[in-house]
Chain A
Amino acid sequence: MKPQNKLAFAHIGVAIVAFALGAMVALMQALSRASLALPLRSARIFYISVTAHGVLMGLVFTTFFIMGLGYAFSRASLGRVTGERVAWASFWIAVVGTAVAAATILSGKATVLYTFYPPLQAHPLFYFGATGLVIGSWGWCGVMIASYRSWRKENPTPPVPLVMHGMLTTVIVWLLATAGLAVEVLVLILPWSLGLVKTIDPLLCRTFFWWFGHPLVYFWLLPAYAIWYTVLPRVVGGKLFSDNLGRMVFVLFILFSTPVGFHHQFADPGISASWKLAHTVTTFLILFPSLVTAFTLIASLELAARARGGKGLFGWVRALPWGQPLFSSVALAMITFALGGFGGAVNAAYAMNSMVHNTAWIQGHFHLTVGTAVALTFMGITYWLLPRLTGKELRLSAAASVQPYLWFVGMMLFGVVNHITGLMGMPRRIYDAGYGGSEIAARWAPWTAVSAVGGVVLFVSSALFVSVVVATLLYGRKIEEPEIAFAEALDAPANPVRGIWDRWPLWTAISVILVLAAYALPIAHHLMLHRFGSTGFKPF
């Protein structure tokens, strides 16, 4: 492997290890839905594994993968990663933090789920470990910004390449998001978990958590969008339909991804209905960039398919390379994301949310969105990126072609059935859905058995993915690294000049103002209440 590729590869490697562990613990949870009497099955192990799965998949796999992707894309599109030593130091801080947090989870001392709502209290090392992961990711943000600024100095006129535009958006959204998390963990939780203060305000923690928690989903999604916009059109042999609209889409995500957190707290007391409605309005504004994305991407694919000889109103779809794992992964991810988007509109709907809040519907929703739209895109890009980073030809390519379809089928069973049982009222994250032999709960059982089958299919798909990666690293034939190259835009002028979408300080400033507008007053009101704190409780 060329030395300049090691940084990206190390991050993606850690991500895939986390993914493999997360998939293993998920199999056990899926089988629990079928109420099988397995030897190791217990409530304790179930809830430990729910925590491990959420943290490993939602926070570790995604964060490390995105950091690796950022370095690979920065190197390929700007020709540099500025500050390699800072990048490596940040990597190790994140790795050590993750290992410490993982150890507390697996030893049963931090069974607080990835949302860790106080006054459930984990071992202090869990919070320290998570802080390490976040501090490492801030180092990544610094390196990405430094790389951009160094490139900009040498290239004052052109717009930043679109793929990097997407990654810079990701960086800004992550910094906005983690500001809320930092207040929650550093100011509120750490002193309380160390016993320096006796009590904590659980509602204030939830508010800061969801300040972080919603933009977190765009931190996951935006790198996937960057791949959809810049890699996908190229691998199907076409061009991007509209470069300018792509840039606008990313900027809209900077503006509207953070001032929306109360739509996760519709069911909470202590927050006024009017503030919840205000956050609902901003939440629905984010539908717009995704609708634009749907058009631009489908138009790009149609043009490419027609160039490949595709015909007919919808017949052109057949001309796309469905056997190629990156294409099929991303196409299936996009189809699944459309379904997930409809569900998301229900979640965000001010009043309809009551029907689905904290039911299995929610886990169905995020398995379609982050669990497929994002994760399947990342698996697909791994197949494409691995030879480009390591100079090794992909092994088990037949397995790689089948794997995305298995994931899709598994997720249709698992994700869609969870939407159904959720509408029937079944809560999420429960070890046993029997409720003392309740007749109402008994109606869920046939459906949960189907979701268990979906879970097994997903596990097989995960195992295939990990096998392809391992086989390629161990036995991949040495090849000249193919180029990491991105799609050209149909509307690209010969000598493009940077425009309004490249004004990063401006967009960042507006987004900070929007976040303050959304949170300053409700938090100030909250602090004026006569509040009573909570002491910590252990889940076991």
Chain B
Amino acid sequence: MKIHLYERIWMGLGVVLIVVFLGIMIVMNTAHAVQPPSHIETVDPKTIWDDPRFADLGVTLTPEGAKVVLVAQMYAFLPAELEVPAGKPVTFRMSSADVVHGFEIVGTNANATLIPGYVTEFTVTFPRAGEYLIVCNEFCGIGHHGMFGKVIAGGAPS
């Protein structure tokens, strides 16, 4: 196949661009575990309120940081207010009792889907103390825009 020289150069640059993009992602994934939340664990949404893994909703302080257990339902996060330490790793364990919900902490890269039947788990560190807004970002019904909560990092702001 005859290809014009300029076009060959352009195609070569295209290949380099794609290799660089993928290279960065693969290196960050492999060397630094920079990954989207991909925990695999199931839970029965019909009996989630009796499940021992979701018995103590809210924040538990741990030696490293904190653990948050949360259940989403139409149209609230339970609990809706979370006080966590700033600058330390906070592990979220969450699921949904009814439909699919989104869990996004505005201004951070904590952004994950809560799917009934599955446990979402990821760890995030809040870089600064203060208040963060949690929003549901997956359409869940007529009250979707009223489904929000807050994170207070570093304890209550003084």
Question: Could you list which residues of chain A lie within 8 angstroms of chain B, going by C-beta atoms?
Answer: 43-44, 47, 50, 111, 113, 117, 119-120, 201-203, 206, 241-242, 244-245, 248, 265-273, 276-277, 280-281, 284-285, 287-288, 291-292, 295-296, 299, 345, 349-351, 353-355, 357-359, 424-433, 435-436, 438, 440-441, 491, 529-535, 537-540
Contacts and interface: CB of A to CB of B under 8 A. Distances in A.
B2 A47 contact: no
Nearest to A540: B142
Interface in B124-158: 131-133, 135-146, 148
Chain B, interface size category, equals 35 or more
Contacts of B43: 532
B111 A267 contact: yes
28 contacts: A50-B139, A202-B99, A202-B117, A244-B1, A248-B1, A267-B36, A269-B37, A271-B38, A276-B36, A276-B38, A287-B17, A291-B11, A295-B10, A295-B11, A296-B7, A349-B21, A351-B28, A351-B109, A359-B137, A425-B106, A425-B107, A427-B104, A429-B144, A432-B146, A435-B135, A438-B148, A440-B107, A532-B117
Nearest to A354: B109
B61 interface: no
Contacts of B69: none
Where chain A touches its partner, the secondary structure class is loop
A425 B109 CA distance: 10
A532 B115 contact: no
Contacts of A351: 25, 28-29, 34-36, 109
A287 to B, nearest CB: 6
Which of A242, A353, A355, A539 has the most chain B CB atoms closer than 10 A to its own CB? A539
A123 B110 CA distance: 34
Contacts of A288: 11, 14-15, 18
A64 B41 CA distance: 42
A435 B14 contact: no
Interface centre among A241, A244, A287, by most chain B C-beta atoms within 10 angstroms, is A287
The listed residue with most A CB atoms (<10 A of its CB), out of B3, B38, B45, is B38
A273 B112 CA distance: 14
Nearest to A51: B139
Nearest to A535: B46
Given A269-B38, A351-B35, A353-B36, A44 B100 contact: no
Nearest to A525: B40
Contact of A430 (B10, B121, B132, B145): B145
Contacts of A291: 10-11, 14, 17
A333 B2 CA distance: 29
B21 A354 contact: no
B127 to A, nearest CB: 14
B136 A206 contact: no
A242 B7 contact: yes
A500 to B, nearest CB: 9
B74 to A, nearest CB: 7
A284 B29 CA distance: 16
Given A44-B142, A119-B98, A295-B10, A245 B3 contact: yes
Contact of B100 (A120, A287, A428): A120
Given A269-B118, A272-B38, A273-B36, A245 B14 contact: no
Contacts of A244: 1-3
Nearest to B148: A435
A529 B21 contact: no
Contacts of A292: 7, 10-11, 14
B102 interface: yes
A531 B42 CA distance: 6
A404 B64 CA distance: 57
Contact of B141 (A272, A532, A539): A539
Contact of B25 (A267, A280, A435, A533): A280
B37 A267 contact: yes
Contact of A358 (B111, B142, B145): B111
Contacts of B146: 432, 436
Contacts of A533: 117
A202 B112 contact: no
Contacts of A538: 141
Contacts of B110: 354
B3 A269 contact: no
A202 B115 contact: yes
B101 to A, nearest CB: 10
B105 to A, nearest CB: 8
A241 B5 CA distance: 13
Nearest to A292: B11
A350 B107 CA distance: 18
B99 A119 contact: yes
A45 to B, nearest CB: 11
Contacts of B55: none
A440 B35 contact: no
Contacts of A281: 22
